[in-house]
Amino acid sequence: MVKFLMFCILFVVCWPLALLALILYPFVWILLLPFRIVGITVDGVLELLRALLMLPARVLRLGAAR
Cβ contacts of residue 11 below 8 Å, gap of 6+?
Answer: 18, 19
7 touches 21 (CB < 8 A): yes
Confidence of residue 59 (pLDDT cuts 50, 70, 90): confident
What is the structure's pLDDT at 66?
A: 66
At 3-35, the pLDDT tens digits run 899 999 999 999 999 999 999 999 999 999 999
Domain count for the chain: 1
Name all contacts of 5-9 with Cβ < 8 Å and 24+ positions apart. none
Residue 31: give the domain boundaries: 2-65
